[in-house]
Amino acid sequence: GAVVSQHPSWVICKSGTSVKIECRSLDFQATTMFWYRQFPKQSLMLMATSNEGSKATYEQGVEKDKFLINHASLTLSTLTVTSAHPEDSSFYICSAPTPGTTIDEQYFGPGTRLTVT
């Protein structure tokens, strides 16, 4: 099946710094990717939809100037958490829908655990 990777798998940063998380589709092209956030003991919440060649669309309550999304190519989307604060500490997961078929599975990356100190 299709594979989605994320890098890094975990990162610790200091408050006020920025962190970039990469999401790559390894063996297929993804014009759309989704970014989710999961706080401890909670479910996944959709943050934004990343669109290749156009601006990302953000869910209500997600600050677009804080969570910068760039869909640089058909295989890469990046999420940059700017001026990170401890409350941004979370598990960030990306996904991409199955391309070019009628099968509706989504392929999820392994996630990136961000800890802001």
Segment near other proteins (CB under 8 A), from 21-29, 44-52, 68-76, 77-85? 44-52
Residues 113, 30, 56, 61, CA torsion sign: negative
Backbone angles phi, psi at 86, to 5 degrees: -55, -30
**Alpha-carbon distance 89 to 100, whole Å?**
35
Locate tokens 């058909």: which residue?
74
Nearest approach, Cβ of 102 to other proteins (angstroms)? 7
Choice between 32 and 82, CB closer to other proteins: 32
> Binding other proteins by CB under 8 A: which of 16, 46, 63, 83?
46
Nearest approach, Cβ of 100 to other proteins (angstroms)? 10
**Alpha-carbon distance 36 to 23, whole Å?**
12
> Binding other proteins by CB under 8 A: which of 11, 13, 44, 68?
44
Choice between 25 and 111, CB closer to other proteins: 111
Using alpha carbons, select from 34, 35, 76 the residue that is nearest to residue 53. 76
Structure tokens at 98: 């199955």
Point out which residues bind other proteins (CB under 8 A): 32, 34, 36, 42-46, 49, 91, 93, 95, 97-98, 102, 104-106, 108-111, 113
